[in-house]
Amino acid sequence: MMLSKRKFITLSSASILATACGGAGDVSGTAKTPSVSNGLPDGMDGVGTAHAIRSGKISAVEVIDGAIKRAEAVAPQLNAIVYSYFDEAREVAQQGTFANGPFAGVPTFIKDLSDWKGHVTQKGSVGYATAKPEEKDDRLPASWRAAGVISLGKSSSPEFGLLPSAQPLSSGATRNPWDLSRDAGGSSSGAAALVAARVVPFAHGSDGGGSIRAPAATCGVFGFKPSRERLPIRPGPPRDFSIVVEHAETITVRDSIALFQIAEGDFPLGRLGNLAPLNRPIRIGLMTDAPLGTPVDPDVVAEIEKTAKLCEDLGHTVEPFRYSLDYEQLSEDFTLLWGAGATRSVNAASEFTGKEPSEDILEPWTLDLTKHYSDHQADFPQAFERLQNFQHAYETDVNAFDLILSPAMATPAKTIGELAPTIEFDTLYDRVRKYVAFTTPNNVAGAASMSVPLGVSRSGLPIGSMFSGKYGDDELLFALALQLEEAKNWHNAVPPVNALSV
């Protein structure tokens, strides 16, 4: 594992607490003021970058110029940017037209499934190759713009976010900065790759079945999935049932917390409170066997067991756990919901292009998911009802524990091509279901979950430890993440393909 040439911002418990307690109005807290080298604040942390800009240690123009140079340096190798608007970002920084918020002047990328005003959203699809610039931001990106974030472009995603790997026919495979022969996970693929390579401190992502946690695990960054509707992503009141959430891929926990706070809506259980590293023992359930009984890579099991030992060393109780739920039924129901979403996307693409759904405008995997839904549509009402009722069953099942520890992914990053959208449906479906065996229950239950970059395989690939709670356990997860970050600083581990020397 390589070490960065610049030391990451090191935070004491007191400085993390002060930063987190600052909330959306002040994310600088008492954090150490970063030094500046080559236009890059020491550490690539968004909170620290914003503090450096506010304190005059560096200008927003220097920060944006540095990020653009880093993006250009690794872009040919990673293929993680599908659409850039560097000149506009420079102009925004030069003219100071970004909002004076807690992340004023900090660069990022928006996932190519969400809208950023004035720019196209191609959805990872050849069907949207002629898309026009959007007239407004989607809701969560709008909160980032209001906080002063400057977007440099759109990060890669599989078509409509329907695979845990970005290998879209529209733009080609996104590669993992730890090993360019491997994929970057998905569907927030480009976001995790760009953050891991230290191009930007954080990047926008979304998660409908593991799509923040999967790339976080495979790229070695921190990925937090909020509770259902805790960070609003659409206008109007919260929905009773939705599996999709939006948030971010980050290096530091404090960035994730601060981004969470600027986007948080009126949540029934209250807003995120003051946060410090967890200082009380909790009971953790350990699950290393996949719910479907599919194989889990031995390196993954070994690293999760190391994480369990770390938790015990921190004073927590760790005991074995296994779902008692009918996971096979859950998987079948989730696939139908997945297919229903694909069908909506197919219909929208057909309407946009004026063409019938076909491989002229859509990928085989997307069309096959739609066919699967069509073939089993009569079963969907009952499946949807079971999914709606799953939260209660899930919370009853895990109720003996505060949190559940499991692998985020069943294996380290896959080789490019293993999850390509052109593979025959049954083969690809089986591969995907085994790969994301651990993540989907949290989406259906609306439960908070996170992938923490604590492990590495014998071949040097990141392995994410996933901690999952119940609906509303976001605060507990963040507190544990702060404690784990303090105990095992992962910031200095950077992949071979990185932009730190730019």
Average confidence (pLDDT) per 10 residues, the chain, 502 residues: 31 29 31 42 78 94 96 98 98 98 97 98 97 97 98 98 97 98 98 97 97 98 96 75 95 96 88 93 97 93 98 98 93 96 98 98 98 98 96 96 98 98 98 95 97 98 98 97 95 93 84
Catalytic pick among 151, 211, 256, 449: 211
Buried b (16+ CB within 10 A) or exposed e, 381-405: eebeebbeebbebbbebbeebbbbb
174-185, pLDDT tens digit by residue? 999 999 999 999
φ, ψ of residue 97 to 5 degrees: the values are -90, 5
Which of 28, 84, 111, 449 is catalytic? The answer is 111
* DSSP secondary structure letter of residue 415: B
**Catalytic residue flag (residue 7):** no
Length of the chain: 502
* H or E stretch covering 345: helix 327-353
| CA gap 185, 213 in Å, rounded | 9
DSSP 197-216: TTSSSEEEEEESSSTTHHHH
Q: Which of 155, 187, 188, 206 is catalytic?
A: 187
pLDDT in the model for residue 492: 87
Predicted confidence at residue 371, as pLDDT, reads 98
Q: Are 36 and 42 in contact (CB under 8 A)?
A: yes
pLDDT for 232 equals 87
CB-based contact 256:482 (threshold 8 Å)? no
Using only the alpha carbons of the chain, give its radius of gyration: 21
pLDDT score for 5? 30
Domains of the chain, each with CATH number or no CATH: 2-325+389-494 (3.90.1300.10)
Tell me, yes or no, if 111 is annotated catalytic.
Answer: yes
pLDDT at residue 496, as a whole number: 97
211 is catalytic: yes
Q: Residue 240 burial (CB < 10 Å; 0-12/13-18/19+)?
A: exposed
CB 456 within 8 A of CB 213: no
CA distances to 227, 380, 446 from 244, rounded to whole Å, are 10, 19, 9
